[in-house]
Chains A and B, each alone.
Chain A
Amino acid sequence: MSADLFVQCLMSGITQGSIYALIGLGFTIIYAVTRIINFAQGEFVMLGGMFSYILAVKAGLPMPLALLIAIVIAAAVGAVMYLLAIRTARRASVISLIIITIGAAIFIRGIAGNRFGVNAVSPPAFTDTGSMKFLGAYIEPQALWIIGITFAVTIVLYLFLSHTMVGKALRACAVNPSAASLVGINTKAMALIAFIIAGAIGGIGGVVVAPLQDKYDMGIMLGLRGFVAASIGGFMSPVATVIGGLVLGIVENLAIGLDWGPFTSAYKDVIPLVVLLLILLIRSGKLAAAERAG
């Protein structure tokens, strides 16, 4: 493998890994606060991208406004999903909650496919300066946007969780929900906030990735990769989740770049799945303990 190809794969790995990291952050924050795996997390990303396309291209709104509205819509969908589907099933078992979030996922996907059509959409990139050359690799400006925004979101989320009252309350819920409610934290409101944040982060991921790819049915594969990122991070630490996402993106792209034996681009979708199974199996003891405690 030549040095140029290596750098190229590394760069696209970091770009895609940033997206996985954003989705993983959504998984992490919902799981930490409510112990629910939200199978609809990838659909928030799809919705963010879809709405940015509809608002910016079809409705002709100015780009920043369109992106903002798209993110707000994704966050609102997260809130509505929590209020209508999760909160009403209060004492549901884990199986029921899994099935409910799956139902929500395919419901959102179906609505999107129905309203926006089944073809891929591509809103314009944020800046159209053509691709740049860097260490022998070509980089789309959108990739820099993706990496930068992921970085910014991670820092903002970190500051929010560690320096604001609401953020500290969220962390208290993550550590021990019943103790948190004993000291006067409204755990249900925290759960709602977690869903809103997850929806917003998903929406941000959607609007930044949409110029590269967005289709009504991409939610499941993206969601799965985000889940892998979150499980590398152990579902508790946002920073570890971001690192997990980057690692997954780099591994995926380097494996394809090697172009050796079974690692051809046809099997791109298999790599995160295999990583997922490996991680689940390696960490199974720890995860089982966490599941029992939660």
Chain B
Amino acid sequence: MILAWAKRKWTYFAIAALIAFLVLIPFDWFLGRYTSIMIFVGISTMVTVGLCLLMGYTGQVSLGHAAFYGLGAYFSAVLSKTYSLNPWLAMLIAAIATGAFAYIIGYPIFRLRGNYLAMATLGIGLIMWVLFNQLSQYTGGPDGMHGIPYLSIGGFDFDTNFKRFYLVWFFCLAILFLSQNIVRSRTGRALRAIHGNEAAAESLGINVTQFKVKIFVLSSVYASLAGSLFAHHLRFVSPQSFDFLSSVKLVVMAVIGGLASIWGAIFGAGTTRFLSDEVLLGLNQYPQLDIIIYGLILMLVMIFMPEGLFVAIKSGTLWLRVNWRNLPAIMNRKRKELPNQMKYILGRLLFARLWRRTEP
């Protein structure tokens, strides 16, 4: 009975385990230098969740999300350093300003769809990147800005990785729970209806454009908050962190995490971060290896598991649980089919049926 209850509530166990893990991590005897990477994982997760809401649930592409991430970071940096505003106030103003910007461009932009929407968001991302570079009297230009103050509450400064770890993951978990609730609410169902069929959604009385803009604004605010935390954590911002490749990297995180999966975002951000910070940095003799691998991941995951890697793993384990008893028989059958299937796949990849005039 307890087992059945545990099975039903396994998500809560997973979340409890995650929180326990997060509480333990920053202690140096537990993970040491990984604390700093985990902070970045938290920050990236915040952006990725927004992107998942937009791309996975609502079905709208954004190839310029680094723009909002960068806007948050630069607003926070400029307001708190140049104008010596309270960092928290700067963060709030950054979020509001970024949200307002997303709202203003949202209505015209969401008159577009599909490919054109992708190009438009890509264009906005690049414009912002050029502005970060060129408005050098405010942003410091390509060299970036140094000496952004830490966040602090009362007299308590968030001046070590250890303290900032909790700060970042507090925000991150709050956003994850908020998104979880949005997805399970009426709004979430409306978003999925829009993804499924816009005309049908509209006929059910869903204001399609308004919902798209709303979720766009929400995800831009997530990105802005993440950007502010990034600026106050690293105390340094430069345009390199918000270029086209960063936008693509965010898409990679969303794709690995499963586009339509809130908790998968942690998995996606974590995998990508560890891949780029730990595995690939060590391979200096292969320059550009990271974007080669990101390109491969994007293509392979989208071709073979369009729902994303995390979701594919999840449904794979579910399939294993259901078919556990019959596994030997299934494996046997598969083994007999395998040569033919390989031939078929190889043939499809290469030449088969390419030049035949009609479809069978």
Distance between Cα atoms of A113 and B289 in the complex (Å): 9
**In the bound complex, do residue B255 and residue A99 qualify as a contact, i.e. CB atoms below 8 Å apart?**
yes
**In the bound complex, do residue A287 and residue B112 qualify as a contact, i.e. CB atoms below 8 Å apart?**
yes
Interfacial residues of chain B within 274-332, with CB under 8 A of chain A in the complex:
286-299, 302-303, 306
Interfacial residues of chain A within 278-292, with CB under 8 A of chain B in the complex:
280-281, 284-285, 287-288, 291
Given contacts A39-B118, A99-B298, 8 further A-B contacts (CB under 8 A): A84-B349, A95-B114, A106-B298, A110-B291, A113-B288, A186-B357, A224-B123, A288-B113
Given A189-B355, A280-B120, also A107-B244 (CB < 8 A): no
**In the bound complex, do residue A181 and residue B118 qualify as a contact, i.e. CB atoms below 8 Å apart?**
no
B111 at the interface (CB under 8 A from A): yes
**In the bound complex, do residue B303 and residue A100 qualify as a contact, i.e. CB atoms below 8 Å apart?**
yes
CB distance from A24 to the nearest CB of B (A): 13
User: Can you list 8 A-B pairs with a CB-CB distance of less than 8 A?
Assistant: A96-B306, A98-B61, A102-B248, A103-B296, A110-B289, A224-B123, A281-B108, A281-B112
The 3 closest A-B pairs by CB, nearest first: A107-B295, A103-B298, A110-B292
**In the bound complex, do residue A224 and residue B298 qualify as a contact, i.e. CB atoms below 8 Å apart?**
no
Q: Which residues of A contact B112 (CB under 8 A)?
A: 280-281, 284, 287-288
B358 at the interface (CB under 8 A from A): yes
Interfacial residues of chain A within 31-65, with CB under 8 A of chain B in the complex:
31, 36-37, 39
B145 at the interface (CB under 8 A from A): no
Distance between Cα atoms of A129 and B293 in the complex (Å): 44
CB distance from B115 to the nearest CB of A (A): 4
A137 at the interface (CB under 8 A from B): no
**A interface, CB within 8 angstroms of B:** 31, 36-37, 39, 83-85, 87-89, 92-96, 98-100, 102-111, 113-114, 118, 181, 184, 186, 188-189, 192, 216, 220-221, 224, 227, 231, 266-267, 269-270, 273-274, 276-277, 280-281, 284-285, 287-288, 291
CB distance from B287 to the nearest CB of A (A): 6
Given A110-B289, A186-B357, A189-B354, also A105-B295 (CB < 8 A): yes
**In the bound complex, do residue A276 and residue B119 qualify as a contact, i.e. CB atoms below 8 Å apart?**
yes
Given A37-B118, A277-B123, also A110-B288 (CB < 8 A): yes
**In the bound complex, do residue A270 and residue B130 qualify as a contact, i.e. CB atoms below 8 Å apart?**
yes
What are the interface flags for B44-71 relative to A under an 8 Å C-beta threshold, 1 for contact and 0 otherwise?
A: 0000000000010001010100000000
CB distance from A15 to the nearest CB of B (A): 23
B31 at the interface (CB under 8 A from A): no
**In the bound complex, do residue B359 and residue A106 qualify as a contact, i.e. CB atoms below 8 Å apart?**
no
Distance between Cα atoms of A89 and B114 in the complex (Å): 17
B134 at the interface (CB under 8 A from A): yes
B127 at the interface (CB under 8 A from A): yes
**In the bound complex, do residue A277 and residue B349 qualify as a contact, i.e. CB atoms below 8 Å apart?**
no
B116 at the interface (CB under 8 A from A): yes
B218 at the interface (CB under 8 A from A): no
**In the bound complex, do residue B354 and residue A98 qualify as a contact, i.e. CB atoms below 8 Å apart?**
no
CB distance from B113 to the nearest CB of A (A): 6
Distance between Cα atoms of A186 and B355 in the complex (Å): 7
**In the bound complex, do residue B348 and residue A88 qualify as a contact, i.e. CB atoms below 8 Å apart?**
yes
Q: Which residues of A contact B359 (CB under 8 A)?
A: 181
**In the bound complex, do residue B111 and residue A284 qualify as a contact, i.e. CB atoms below 8 Å apart?**
yes
Question: Which listed residue, A94, A95, A114, touches B288 by the CB 8 Å rule?
Answer: A114
**In the bound complex, do residue A37 and residue B119 qualify as a contact, i.e. CB atoms below 8 Å apart?**
yes
Closest A residue to B111 by CB, please name it: A284
Q: Which residues of A contact B124 (CB under 8 A)?
A: 273, 277
Question: Which listed residue, A31, A95, A111, A284, touches B292 by the CB 8 Å rule?
Answer: A111
**In the bound complex, do residue B292 and residue A269 qualify as a contact, i.e. CB atoms below 8 Å apart?**
no
CB distance from A40 to the nearest CB of B (A): 10
CB distance from B300 to the nearest CB of A (A): 8
B251 at the interface (CB under 8 A from A): yes
Closest B residue to A276 by CB, please name it: B123
Given A92-B306, A288-B113, also A274-B127 (CB < 8 A): yes
Distance between Cα atoms of A274 and B123 in the complex (Å): 8
Closest A residue to B134 by CB, please name it: A266
B122 at the interface (CB under 8 A from A): yes
Given A88-B348, A118-B287, A280-B116, also A186-B295 (CB < 8 A): no
Question: Which listed residue, B114, B299, B350, touches A103 by the CB 8 Å rule?
Answer: B299
CB distance from A250 to the nearest CB of B (A): 20
Centre residue among B111, B118, B248, B299 by max chain A CB count within 10 A? B299
Distance between Cα atoms of A220 and B100 in the complex (Å): 28
CB distance from A102 to the nearest CB of B (A): 6
Q: Which residues of A contact B248 (CB under 8 A)?
A: 102, 106
Closest A residue to B300 by CB, please name it: A103
Given A95-B59, A276-B119, A291-B114, also A83-B349 (CB < 8 A): yes
Q: Which residues of B contact A107 (CB under 8 A)?
A: 291-292, 295-296, 299
Distance between Cα atoms of A103 and B286 in the complex (Å): 19
CB distance from A135 to the nearest CB of B (A): 32
CB distance from B235 to the nearest CB of A (A): 27
Q: Which residues of B contact A102 (CB under 8 A)?
A: 63, 248, 251, 298
B126 at the interface (CB under 8 A from A): yes
Centre residue among B116, B287, B355 by max chain A CB count within 10 A? B116
Question: Which listed residue, A84, A114, A189, touches B287 by the CB 8 Å rule?
Answer: A114
B356 at the interface (CB under 8 A from A): yes
Q: Which residues of A contact B114 (CB under 8 A)?
A: 94-95, 98, 291
Q: Which residues of B contact A99 (CB under 8 A)?
A: 61, 251, 255, 298, 302
